[in-house]
Structure 1
Amino acid sequence: MQSATPGNDPSAPSAADAPDESGPAGTTDPAVPRRRLVMLVVTAVVVLAIDIGTKVLVVATMTDGQRIPLIGDVVSLYLIRNSGAAFSLATGMTWVLTLVAIAVVVGIVRFARQLGSRGWALALGLVLGGALGNLADRFFRGPGPLEGHVVDFVSVGWWPVFNAADSAICCGGALLVFLALWGIEIDGHRSGRDPEASR
């Protein structure tokens, strides 16, 4: 009778059979997508809270068109109401931009179930939080639902006036471009890499 020891038990899983969440596949552990989803949600909530908080503070303490210099004439607080997209683009198309933002939010929510990459979770969280922050203005600020003007208040040199949500969207978008160029897919795999060839 052979004694059952950790070293010779044929039923014991070997190291090669153990799931590796840090490898190229990155999603063999079923808990990984849940953790990435939590990361996305936490990132989005933090961005949304910062965006709403700064807008409420600025609107409560400044008047429309008021400018408060922070670093000479280069950086200042400058309160404006923006009917267009980020950085005052596409003004006059408020309701269209609102629908586009809603579509972006729905798309992120749908793709979130495939998350296996920390980078994608962070990037999508930044974009989601920024989109929700500006959507809150579209729905709850004047002149009315779907046509509300977004509060912008950060002025840096010649750059168009923006807010925290715009910054998050741009940072998230830039990170998504980097991940795509680096070949990292949403599930954590590296595109163009044959898992069998790397063994």
Structure 2
Amino acid sequence: MRPFLLSAVLAFIADQASKYYVIHLMNLPLVNTIPVLPPLLTFRYGENRGINFGLGDGLGPWFLIAVAVIICVAVTIWLIRRPQPLLIRISAGLLVGGALGNVLDRVLYGYVLDFLNMSCCGINNPFVFNVADIAIFAGAIGIAFLAGDDTKKKPAKGENDA
């Protein structure tokens, strides 16, 4: 459980620290846009009241908080009941830490603070995201690709020998 907890705490802290620095110390809501590595990376202020890309706007922050907490609890219970390899525990921690970072935003502000915008190659991306979103995405991809189906029967010794 230690890698799970450590990756969750690190994802949560990285998310909240980056939001605090960019949103509050750099005063992004006032200036709205800060070119960092244009056009690849720009800080642009955003308030996400939905899920990803603003989908689910109107569901209300408390519903989205409840869904995120339920997912975090379910992932944690899954790890307790079925011990997983290291990379899956880290992936699960990233997912939970990122989700809880966005939960804290919804509790404090009623929406999720977003500030990262990436565009490239003549494509102007209108969407913004945050470090928690990166952690959630990386964690979900890690779980999806690394978690095996442990329900399959393993062949007995010599069963596959010809």
Superposed pair shares fold, TM > 0.5:
yes
Residues 197 and 87 (structure 1), Cα distance of their counterparts in 2 relative to 1, 3 Å cut: farther
Superposed CA offset, 1:95-128 (max 9, x none) = 3221110111111221121223112201111100
Match of residue 27 from structure 2 = 62
Structure 1 residue 169: Cα displacement: 0.5
Match of residue 53 from structure 1 = 17
TM-score, normalization: structure 1?
Answer: 0.69
Residues 153 and 198 (structure 1), Cα distance of their counterparts in 2 relative to 1, 3 Å cut: farther
Q: Are the equivalent residues in 2 in contact too, given 1:129–1:165 (CA < 8 A)?
A: yes
Structure 1 residue 136: Cα displacement: 0.6
Confirm whether residue 151 of structure 1 aligns to residue 113 of structure 2: yes
Larger Rg: 1
Residues 125 and 195 (structure 1), Cα distance of their counterparts in 2 relative to 1, 3 Å cut: farther
- 2:134 aligned residue (167, 187, 195): 167
One-letter amino acid of the structure 2 residue matched with residue 135 of structure 1: V
The higher-RCO structure (CA 8 Å, 6+ apart) is: 2
One-letter amino acid of the structure 1 residue matched with residue 99 of structure 2: A
Match of residue 197 from structure 1 = 157
Match of residue 6 from structure 1 = none
Structure 1 residue 53: Cα displacement: 0.3
Superposed CA offset, 1:36-75 (max 9, x none) = x100000000000000101111121224261111222331
Report how many aligned residue pairs link the two structures: 150
- 2:38 aligned residue (59, 66, 72): 72
One-letter amino acid of the structure 1 residue matched with residue 112 of structure 2: V
Secondary structure of 2:127's counterpart equals strand
Cα RMSD of the aligned pairs, angstroms, is: 2.0
State the distance in 1 between where 2:137 and 2:84 align: 22
- State the identity %: 29
Q: Name whichever structure is richer in helix by fraction.
A: 2
Structure 1 residue 154: Cα displacement: 0.1
Moved over 3 A (4+): none
TM-score, normalization: structure 2?
Answer: 0.83
Q: Are the equivalent residues in 2 in contact too, given 1:78–1:161 (CA < 8 A)?
A: yes
State the distance in 2 between where 1:39 and 1:198 align: 36
Residues 109 and 74 (structure 1), Cα distance of their counterparts in 2 relative to 1, 3 Å cut: same
Residues 86 and 127 (structure 1), Cα distance of their counterparts in 2 relative to 1, 3 Å cut: same
State the distance in 1 between where 2:158 and 2:135 align: 36
Which runs of no fewer than 5 residues in structure 2 stay unpaired? 120-124
Confirm whether residue 107 of structure 1 aligns to residue 46 of structure 2: no
Match of residue 145 from structure 1 = none
Match of residue 127 from structure 1 = 95
Match of residue 56 from structure 2 = 90
State the distance in 1 between where 2:158 and 2:77 align: 31
Structure 1 residue 159: Cα displacement: 5.9
